[in-house]
Structure 1
Amino acid sequence: MHMSEKEVLDILGQKVGLGESAKVSFNVAKLHTQNRIDVPVIIERSKKPGPTILITAGIHGDEVNGVEIVRQVIAKGINKPKRGTIICVPVINVFGFIHMDRLFPDGRDLNRVFPGGKGGSLASRVAHKLMTQIVPHADLILDFHTGGADRFNAAQIRIVKNEVVLDELAQVFGAPFIFNSKNLNKSFRNSCYKLGIPMLLFEGGKSFHIDNTITNTGVNGVKRVLNHLEMLNRKFKVSRPKKQCVRITESKWIRAKYSGMFKPTVNVTSKVEKGDVIGNITDPYGSFNHFIKAPNNGYIFNVNESPIIYQGDAIFHISTKLED
């Protein structure tokens, strides 16, 4: 691996030698009150050289569950490698995190402005700094996300199709689902893909919410990947995934035919058959009750947990094609 064997890691103006730990500031911009805002970048290096893994979360400021996974990785000391280097950035969009907002103060979605530019919008500058000063050190990136709004995502790893390295690592991670999804234009994942740096993108849970199952799946997945790369500290045990991993190659959103009060009757990760009732929509006056039926056999891997929905809202994500 190219970058990894370096004796000294020169990152954000600080030099970190083998066997050293460091907390480096990813300084972005001041708040409007002139308070400095520093995103801590937590670096742990083994005395033994090896790969460099970058673990990130909080590209969207409301995706607290992803941040919690990275927090636990650090708090438990999983980020102290047996060989190589682990760099953790628990909250990339700290502005959004402060305001409990998905976006940047300039109203931009950070995950749609990569690779960014030095003289662009605030979000664009942050993307640029991340891509030029942190990402080039990495041999592999684990990026943690959470379902948007009230849509609860089953724990899943998202990768593009037919990438041998990613396929293997996604299997190793051991989330219940691997979802083949295209790299979105101007996303963090796409920009890393263009640099040839593999990324496992984890999705799980819903915004403003911490779910223990999702958190545990994420932390266990990190341990399995590190163990696979012979980087996991000896004191940690690696568990086998509880479920056989399902690979989803194609899927569709089931949308609400009516506005009303919504109750899903299946759990996220459920296997359903065509025609099964998976939820219902009612009105406050008890005058109508619409049953939502599965349009095909498949797995439900995202459920909208909002009690009030409008016609056309995405309420379930169902697989339409699995890889054998």
Structure 2
Amino acid sequence: MSGPRHVDRLDLEELPSGQPVRLWLEVVHDAMGMPLEVPVIVVRGPKSGPVFGVTAAVHGNELNGLPVIHRLVERIDASKLRGTLVMAAPVNVPGFHRNARRFVDQRDLNTMFPGRPDGHASHVFAHRLLDRLVRHFDYLVDLHTASFGRENSLYVRADMRDPPTAELAKLARPQIILHNPPSDRTLRGAAAELDIPAITVEIGDPQVLQPKYIKPTLTGIRSMLAEVDMLPKRAVAPGPPPTLCKASRWIYTDHGGLLSVMPQVNEFVAEGDLLARQRDVFGDVVREYHAPYSGVVIGRSTNPVGQTGARIVHLGRVTDVLPPPPSEVPPETAED
């Protein structure tokens, strides 16, 4: 692997093919006038084809996506790649340094897209990241995790009305797929506005590395690359069938106290099931919270200190349980 180069523009055509190329991509500058650079790894195949983008740690404390990228680079055979794989992580370098979700100006970077050429630091960063990196992509997989005080299942946010996007979501090997049109100011939404099929993969919990989620995510991205004819298909064992949700919402407390959440992530609950119990500081039960509808737990609170308005569970409305993601070759030849 070649040593890192410092660039202020991503010119994919000038990069050598057949090997990973490491880059520091300049985006903005800090108060000392030093460049704030995002680490980027580019792998160009010997044959032309799509540009597939993978980003991680848009929130600086969401780390599970980094080893996904590292292992993808280690295991990919660049000589068999058709097209270009572009991976950027951590995107939020200041947040990564501080073990923090937010950008240097204390704003949530994933609510700033498509950004502006002027304005707050996060607006400018988002605008330039789109211009210097994301606009090159034909596909985007944006890797996230839960925030502090919460845990997530392995789930995908995707606009399931768009066939190319829906196919990426199914191949990601998630536990849950949440139909979620990208109408917000996220990186995924900005990519969709550029007609780039894009999904968000939520890989478990913040500030930890979780092999149980990293491995299927890596396999899923490898399957996506095969599906768009960037890599040859290979033998993989079928994944578990994902649950499809048409919508979801967080359930919140209406009182304060110590919160005990009952169901685990990826657990199904029926309408009326006990979701959580809340006690005051003397140990007396002050509230019990029940499921307002039947669904599946996409995420849950892990913080027992819950004031009024604290999150309890992220509850998905189940549409269907989909067939398991297909193996890339007939199952009789598949292996783990």
Alignment partner for residue 239 of structure 1, among 237, 240, 262?
Answer: 237
| Structure 1 equivalent of residue 116 of structure 2 | 117
Question: Could you tell me how far 1:291 is from its partner in structure 2?
Answer: 3.5
Summarize deviations over 1:53-101 as a string: whole Å, max 9, x none: 0110111112122333323323x33484622110110111101111122
- 1:165-314 map, 5 Å: 165-232=164-231, 238-241=236-239, 243-288=240-285, 290-314=287-311
Question: Could you tell me how far 1:195 is from its partner in structure 2?
Answer: 1.0
In 1: Cα distance, 2:241 partner to 2:177 partner: 11
Are the counterparts in 1 of residues 256 and 278 from structure 2 also a CA contact under 8 Å?
yes
Structure 2 unpaired stretches of 5+:
1-7, 322-336
> Cα distance 1:289–1:172, how it changes in 2: closer, same or farther (>3 A)?
same
Are the counterparts in 2 of residues 60 and 101 from structure 1 also a CA contact under 8 Å?
yes
The aligned amino acid for 1:311 is T
| Structure 1 equivalent of residue 75 of structure 2 | 77
> Cα distance 1:180–1:24, how it changes in 2: closer, same or farther (>3 A)?
same
Are the counterparts in 2 of residues 157 and 203 from structure 1 also a CA contact under 8 Å?
yes
Query: After alignment, is 276-285 or 245-254 more displaced?
Result: 276-285
> Cα distance 1:78–1:258, how it changes in 2: closer, same or farther (>3 A)?
farther
In 2: Cα distance, 1:35 partner to 1:306 partner: 38
CA RMSD after TM alignment: 2.4
| Structure 2 equivalent of residue 320 of structure 1 | 317
In 2: Cα distance, 1:261 partner to 1:70 partner: 38
Q: Secondary structure at the match of 1:84?
A: strand
In 1: Cα distance, 2:292 partner to 2:184 partner: 30
Q: Secondary structure at the match of 2:133?
A: helix
**When the two structures are superposed, what TM-score results if normalisation uses the length of structure 1?**
0.87
How many residues are paired up? 312
In 2: Cα distance, 1:47 partner to 1:185 partner: 37
Identity %: 26
| Structure 2 equivalent of residue 107 of structure 1 | 106
| Structure 2 equivalent of residue 95 of structure 1 | 94
The aligned amino acid for 2:109 is L
Question: Could you tell me how far 1:304 is from its partner in structure 2?
Answer: 0.7
Query: After alignment, is 40-49 or 24-33 more displaced?
Result: 24-33
Summarize deviations over 1:107-127 as a string: whole Å, max 9, x none: 222222222233332222221
Query: After alignment, is 206-215 or 46-55 more displaced?
Result: 206-215
Query: After alignment, is 225-234 or 277-286 more displaced?
Result: 225-234
| Structure 2 equivalent of residue 4 of structure 1 | none
In 1: Cα distance, 2:96 partner to 2:272 partner: 41
| Structure 1 equivalent of residue 128 of structure 2 | 129
Are the counterparts in 2 of residues 298 and 318 from structure 1 also a CA contact under 8 Å?
yes
> Cα distance 1:19–1:228, how it changes in 2: closer, same or farther (>3 A)?
same
Summarize deviations over 1:215-234 as a string: whole Å, max 9, x none: 22322211221222233467
Summarize deviations over 1:128-174 as a string: whole Å, max 9, x none: 22211222221101100111232212111111241111112211222
Structure 1 unpaired stretches of 5+:
1-9
> Cα distance 1:176–1:18, how it changes in 2: closer, same or farther (>3 A)?
same
Q: Secondary structure at the match of 2:221?
A: helix
